[in-house]
Chains A and B, each alone.
Chain A
Amino acid sequence: MRSPDPAVAQHAAFRHLLLKEVWGALGGRALWTMLLILCPLVGYSFFQAVALYGEASLAARDSAALASGLSPLDGVLVPSFGALYLGVTLLFPFVAIRTLGREKETGTLRLLVQLPYRVPTLIAAKMTAIGVVWLMAMVPALSTLAIWEMLGGHLSPPETVNLVFGHLLYGLLVGAIALFAAAVSDGAATAAIVTLAFTIGSWVLDFALAGQPGMLGWIAQLSLTQTLRRFEQGLLSFGLMLGICAAIAGFAALAAVWLHPGVPRQTKLVRSIAGVTLLAAALAIANQMTLSVDLAEDRRNSFPAADEQALAALCEPLIVTVRLAAEDPRYIDLRRNVLAKLERTLPHVTIRLATAGQSVVGSTSDESYGEIEYAYGGRSVKTRSTSHREALPLIYQLAGRSIPTPKPGDDYAGYPLATNGQAALFWFLGALPMLIALAWWWTRRAPRIPAVFTEEQGEMS
């Protein structure tokens, strides 16, 4: 096709668009209302977590074993950020939808798509604005970290940053879904229903399908809640990270496909199918990635260092056959204590669920139910224990190796702290909401009008 005359309006600086999007996001009441709701929600969760942690710390004063179970990650950070998770799941969609929904409802989208920006650029600016808004939403939760430190609490930077990073990804994922929902829907209400179908639907998946074998189990893994779980356990899984990033990019791309009102619906559908196929491929690749780093200070996702070293030296494939139903609590224990750690440590490990498709009730008459068989180097051994303390010696025995000597200083001592977070309530129920209200007022005040706009000068040519 022959190119027409040089066009006059092809490109413009991204920063102007970004500034508009950020002002647009700050301009709505939804954001500030969410922030004001998050303050007491996060504050009270933090207060309760600190109180419970304090009580447990008092009980652990004379017991090193009890103290070793006191991790600030589990005791304080995860519950406090859990309130943020609740806020994001239920409230953040409304804030994110507004970045596009308002323009669609008022018809301003017809101006937006004529600006000298490509559609992916428009979506990138909206996603960046959603990211900025999400960072603001994290302020109450992030302030719990500072208060915890001020109370004398311990923070492990790697596991803390990992948790914050997990919530950041979760928020962006919800934001991308909301943007997609706003792009495909005619109104904000419909978009909210679509987004909540994803977020609250995830809870349904968690309750109804978690632990189910086969296809149901795979569907349960699509729950958005799963994206946070590993971060909350102090695990940085590269496969999960890639999967979430692919999902964010995928939903943003689908939003771009559906944004322009001038593209025929059939073209949008064809492009969507291509996008969903690419997203599914990316998720499948991410699912195959097993690389992960245990950032938990108590190394809960890893075997003791001496065992890890010894297991890493096993070159032959290890096959573990489990005769337990997937929903059996013993299988869940085994999965957490042994199987997941073996998958992270051993180069070649295969886990088979021999009872796939069977339920606990249906399997109780089978005498072999509950057995776990480890096969290595042509030999095998069976056990019913779900603890690594019994499983690892069996594996060493199969491999003809001696049990490694534990390394000194390998044990996690825990961080008991008998304190209460009552003072924090003044921050979460008083000072922080006040600051938020001030910021709200600041964004709503009339801007300064440049003098040049009030003094007549120049020519319209």
Chain B
Amino acid sequence: MTTSSGDIPALLQVEGLTKHYGDQIALADVAFSVQSGEVLGLIGPNGAGKTTLLEAIAGIVSANSGHIRWRGTPLTTMQRREFMFYLPDGLRPWDDQYVVRVIAFFADVYGRSDGFASATIHRLGLTPALGKPVAALSKGYARRLMLALALLTPHPLLLMDEPFDGFDLRQTRAIMDVLRDVAAAGRTLVLAIHQLIDAERVCDRFALLADGRLRGIGTLAELRTRTGTTGLEEAFLALT
């Protein structure tokens, strides 16, 4: 069993996760662990299996084999929603409703105060969109709404699929600041990112994924040392 240090089990352990779609292998025996409070980047090209991996961890898709452990204890599919929250990519949640209603729903469900909801809205710059239907949001605002929903949840672990997709450089940096603050407040983040430059800026460690297989995991320094390269991009190319 992988542990963070000594006998303390890792916050999340992924063990031998395998997923097939017919003859096609989406995930092949993927195993890694995530420590409390870190930001782990799942790096890989489109089709590498990042989304499938996040959904399999969250229990949104059923894996053919493998286990998910929370501080060493196996979690059933139905238990996972109590410990982690998965934010899908490209979703417009309840698109026929108004943004304020969707946010209020999440805040109510998770018992968040109006003040907390308001702070989340302001931090993500969602105020101008509150009175709009979700279907009418631009890609960037739809992404902010999804991030707001994730931040309104109290889960110690957030799994986010392409959290910076749809943002320009300035907006991406602002959202990175938000996520760093969230991690600093004690929440753990696993981010699936296909832009290596974004990943390098925000993540503490990196799990490199290609063709459904985990090709390497570690901090930037560890990956550099292992591959004898100078950056994440070179390390990724060397390992995949």
Chain A residues within 8 Å of B, Cβ to Cβ:
1-5, 7-10, 12-13, 16-17, 19-20, 23-24, 27-28, 102-103, 106-108, 110-111, 113-116, 118-119, 260-264, 446-447, 449-450, 452-461
Contact A116 B81 (CB under 8 A): yes
The chain A residue with its CB closest to the CB of B92 is: A106
8 contacts between A and B (CB under 8 A): A7-B83, A9-B81, A24-B97, A27-B96, A116-B110, A262-B55, A458-B114, A460-B116
Contact B91 A106 (CB under 8 A): yes
B32 sits at the interface (CB 8 A): no
In Å, the complex CA distance between A23 and B104 comes to 13
Please give, as numbers and ranges, the residues of chain A lying within 8 Å of B105 by CB-CB distance.
16, 19-20
One of B23-31, B37-45, B69-77, B217-225 contacting the partner: B69-77
Contact with A along B97-138 (1 / 0, CB 8 A): 110110111001111011111111111000100111000000
Please give, as numbers and ranges, the residues of chain B lying within 8 Å of A106 by CB-CB distance.
91-93, 95
Residue with the highest number of chain B CB atoms closer than 10 Å, among A28, A114, A450: A114
A235–chain B nearest beta-carbon distance, Å: 42
B230 sits at the interface (CB 8 A): no
B156 sits at the interface (CB 8 A): yes
In Å, the complex CA distance between A146 and B29 comes to 68
Contact A111 B149 (CB under 8 A): yes
Interface residues of B in 143-199 (CB under 8 A from A): 149, 151, 153-156, 181-182, 185
- Choose among A1, A19, A110, A118 the residue that contacts B86 (Cβ–Cβ < 8 A): A110
Contact A13 B113 (CB under 8 A): no
The chain A residue with its CB closest to the CB of B133 is: A446
Please give, as numbers and ranges, the residues of chain B lying within 8 Å of A12 by CB-CB distance.
108-111
B85 sits at the interface (CB 8 A): yes
Contacts A7-B79, A8-B154; A111 near B88 (Cβ below 8 A): yes
Contact B62 A108 (CB under 8 A): no
Given contacts A12-B109, A106-B93, A107-B91, 5 further A-B contacts (CB under 8 A): A7-B79, A19-B105, A453-B117, A458-B116, A459-B116
Contact A110 B100 (CB under 8 A): no
A interface majority secondary structure: loop
B205–chain A nearest beta-carbon distance, Å: 22
Please give, as numbers and ranges, the residues of chain B lying within 8 Å of A113 by CB-CB distance.
60, 81
Contact B59 A262 (CB under 8 A): yes
B145–chain A nearest beta-carbon distance, Å: 11
The chain A residue with its CB closest to the CB of B130 is: A449
Contact B131 A102 (CB under 8 A): no
Question: Which A-B residue pairs are the 5 nearest by beta carbons?
Answer: A458-B115, A7-B82, A4-B73, A27-B96, A458-B119
Contact B115 A452 (CB under 8 A): yes
Please give, as numbers and ranges, the residues of chain A lying within 8 Å of B17 by CB-CB distance.
none
Contact with A along B55-71 (1 / 0, CB 8 A): 10011111000000011
In Å, the complex CA distance between A19 and B59 comes to 26
Contact A446 B79 (CB under 8 A): no
- Choose among A19, A24, A114, A456 the residue that contacts B81 (Cβ–Cβ < 8 A): A114
Contact A108 B94 (CB under 8 A): yes
The chain A residue with its CB closest to the CB of B86 is: A114
Contact A110 B111 (CB under 8 A): no
The chain A residue with its CB closest to the CB of B157 is: A8
Contact A108 B100 (CB under 8 A): no
Contacts A3-B73, A460-B151; A446 near B98 (Cβ below 8 A): yes
Contact A9 B116 (CB under 8 A): no
- Choose among A111, A262, A460 the residue that contacts B61 (Cβ–Cβ < 8 A): A262
The chain B residue with its CB closest to the CB of A265 is: B62
- Choose among A10, A28, A118, A260 the residue that contacts B96 (Cβ–Cβ < 8 A): A28
- Choose among A103, A114, A454, A458 the residue that contacts B85 (Cβ–Cβ < 8 A): A114
Residue with the highest number of chain B CB atoms closer than 10 Å, among A27, A103, A460: A460
The chain B residue with its CB closest to the CB of A29 is: B96
Contact B131 A263 (CB under 8 A): no
The chain B residue with its CB closest to the CB of A262 is: B59
In Å, the complex CA distance between A458 and B154 comes to 16
In Å, the complex CA distance between A16 and B117 comes to 16
Contacts A8-B156, A458-B116; A20 near B127 (Cβ below 8 A): no
Please give, as numbers and ranges, the residues of chain A lying within 8 Å of B82 by CB-CB distance.
7-10, 116
Contact B60 A16 (CB under 8 A): no
Contact A9 B101 (CB under 8 A): no
Please give, as numbers and ranges, the residues of chain B lying within 8 Å of A260 by CB-CB distance.
77-78
